[in-house]
Structure 1
Amino acid sequence: MSGLFGPIRQNGYVVRDLRRAVRHWTEVIGVGPFFVIDDQPLNGFRFRGEPSEARIRVALAQSGGIQIELIEPLNDAQSAFGEFLRSGREGLQHIAFWTDEFDAAMREAAGRGLTVLQEGCSGSGAPDERFVYFTAEHHPGTMIELSETRGAKGRLFRAIAAAAEGWDGAEPVRDMRSLLDGAS
């Protein structure tokens, strides 16, 4: 298996207009359906070691073995997402690896010299929903995210992948809460 922590499971794109980006992905590229959450909780979020009240809008879809994540920052609070846009960029910002063994993966990352840039818990903030983004100093432009996928977040990701199988173009944009209720 290739990759630091197994296969790359997600491409994360930071965008200025999430609705426009979703239309592009569904209508031009044919990827979908996208599940949108208009204000994604970032629990215990820290950027460069300091607490941050960053708020983001997120859309998730699946294309084969890769999840597509679209992220739109909603405020000016410090985050890698806002920093990316303020630098004049838009587009692919990170790749993500998923793990059920987060602590072991973090030890491996530290052993390889990766440095945490931002971290927190997504979704409900449960202890098995941790994520971390490493600085991109080793390869400017594309960060590495490590996302813990035990519990509800893993079930949510599997439901998004299942929805993409055989998708016929109907309902290209859906409310993520419809899946979150079943992922709890």
Structure 2
Amino acid sequence: MSFLPGGPARQIAYFVPDAIEAATRHSALFGSGPYYVAEHIPLVTCLYYGEPSHFDHTSAYGQWGEVMVEFVQQNSTERSCFTDLYPDGKQGMHHVALIVDDLAASMRGFEEAGHPAALYAEVQPGAGFAMMDFVKELGHFIELYEPTEALLGVYDLVRSASIGWDGSDLIRKFGF
């Protein structure tokens, strides 16, 4: 297999039934946090293996050492790359995220290497992300997105809040 674009993993994400509960439990076990929770994240575009779909989800984002950790909760019942990997209320590690310079070109490269986009979504026009299917090889998905100002702002917010954090105010609401 040829080299696929993408830097080091910037985030590890878990699919869970309750994002706030999972974040609270992870913080108690590993000291991660604080967590920024976005509920019912709106998507202007959502494609499941290239077909129009709907994906209503809530995510909790926190810092865990050098990497961001995300807990994803699906609020809708539609089939998704999350419920494909973890059906019937199961939970577990779902994806690692990579920041790439060119999302469309990176998606093409991954697809040509046999890893289709299970999910392509945009939170606003032009601000997309993709879940590339690596389940057969790695047991999880690879999320790709470009280093937009908004995305890097979220990473900076989460990392900055973790520096010197005293464990108080664990759950903080925010929106996209």
TM-score (norm 2): 0.88
* Cα offset, 1:157, TM superposition: 1.6
How far apart are the structure 1 equivalents of 2:13 and 2:4?
17
1:176 is matched with 174
Of 141, 155, 158, which aligns to 1:157? 155
Percent identity, please. 26
User: SS at 2:156's partner residue?
Assistant: helix
User: SS at 2:21's partner residue?
Assistant: helix
Higher relative contact order (CA 8 A, sep 6+): 2
User: Does the CA-based 8 Å contact 1:16-1:85 persist in structure 2?
Assistant: no
2:25 is matched with 24
* Cα offset, 1:4, TM superposition: 4.7
| Amino acid in the other structure paired with 1:167 | W
Greater Cα offset, 87-96 or 156-165 = 87-96
Q: Residues 41 and 149 (structure 1 numbering): CA distance in 2 closer, same or farther, change over 3 Å? A: farther
Counterpart check, 1:143 vs 2:144: no
How far apart are the structure 2 equivalents of 1:89 and 1:4?
31
User: Does the CA-based 8 Å contact 1:14-1:93 persist in structure 2?
Assistant: yes
* Cα offset, 1:55, TM superposition: 0.4
1:154-179 CA distances to partner (integer Å, 9 max, x unpaired)?
212211111112211010100124xx
* Cα offset, 1:64, TM superposition: 2.6
User: Does the CA-based 8 Å contact 1:100-1:150 persist in structure 2?
Assistant: no
1:112 is matched with 113
| Amino acid in the other structure paired with 1:53 | H
* Cα offset, 1:137, TM superposition: 4.5
- Aligned pair count reads 174
How far apart are the structure 2 equivalents of 1:77 and 1:25?
27
User: SS at 1:12's partner residue?
Assistant: strand
* Cα offset, 1:82, TM superposition: 2.4
2:47 is matched with 46
* Cα offset, 1:39, TM superposition: 0.8
How far apart are the structure 2 equivalents of 1:29 and 1:121?
31
Q: List alignment gaps of at least 5 residues for structure 2.
A: none
User: Does the CA-based 8 Å contact 1:14-1:84 persist in structure 2?
Assistant: no
How far apart are the structure 2 equivalents of 1:140 and 1:87?
21
* RMSD after superposition: 2.1
Q: List alignment gaps of at least 5 residues for structure 1.
A: none
1:69-92 CA distances to partner (integer Å, 9 max, x unpaired)?
100100111211222331663110
